[in-house]
Amino acid sequence: MKFSRLIIFLSLLTILSACGSGSSSDSSATRSIQVRIGEPASLSSLPPDQRTVTLALFYFVDGREGSKASEVILTANADRSAWNGRIDSLAPGRYLAKVFLSQSWNENSVQTDLSPSTSEAPEENFQSIPIALFSAPTDIVVGQENIIIDIAPVDFSVSLDEDNDGLSNLAEILGTTDPLKMIRTVMEFPMDWMSSQISPQNLEIRMVMGLGIMKIIVFK
């Protein structure tokens, strides 16, 4: 009888040990990622071979975004309809998945009236500028080896604005202005010169110009 109890005890111990080992293994598992993308039509005029896709996962508890859990730059398949990668040590749980589409952009391709005149071509200085964003909660369950995210063109936001000048990164790249720098021109006019055309209040007009944002401020 004592021998039988010993066998049962050892069997239970083995089962519990295996369960614990499996849970620990899954919490540090490497998981395959595939993001299947339908790009917004507004990106069609940009060179697709200069585009990168990044997946960032943030902890997501009670509907609130937490710290970043992981981030990976994905690799495109042959027809660029899907982007693939792997994430190490990603525990099961609920995350906020953010997929960024970024475009390679040459900072020195921007020319303004303030640029020094030269016959030499400017040096190339490429940066990766985010131009579209998809964001949605996703659940990773125990034993899940593959994470697949499908994104339709309408699911992307193209309103990302790095310099907060009111023009999106995409609009500035398409318009050959600098998406990282807000250009402002301030012109001052005496109030009596404009008194017949504006109210007595300070007036600020924001205009979309070829050089980005031109701000004309009329003072009292």
Please check whether residue 176 lies inside any domain of the structure. no
* pLDDT band at residue 25 using 50, 70 and 90 as cut-offs: low
Q: How many folded domains does the chain comprise?
A: 1
Please check whether residue 59 lies inside any domain of the structure. yes
Please check whether residue 130 lies inside any domain of the structure. yes
Please check whether residue 24 lies inside any domain of the structure. no
Which pLDDT tens digit goes with each residue over 140-186? Answer: 999 999 999 999 999 999 999 988 888 898 988 888 788 888 755 44
Higher pLDDT, 174 or 22: 174
Please check whether residue 186 lies inside any domain of the structure. no
Please check whether residue 203 lies inside any domain of the structure. no
Please check whether residue 146 lies inside any domain of the structure. yes
Which residues fall within 8 angstroms of residue 167, CB to CB, at 6 or more apart? Answer: 161, 175, 177, 179, 208, 212, 213
The pTM of this model reads 0.68
CATH of the domain at 95: 2.60.40
Using the structure block, give the residue that is written with the tokens 């071509």.
121
Domain containing residue 142? 29-160
- Secondary structure letter of residue 24 according to DSSP: H
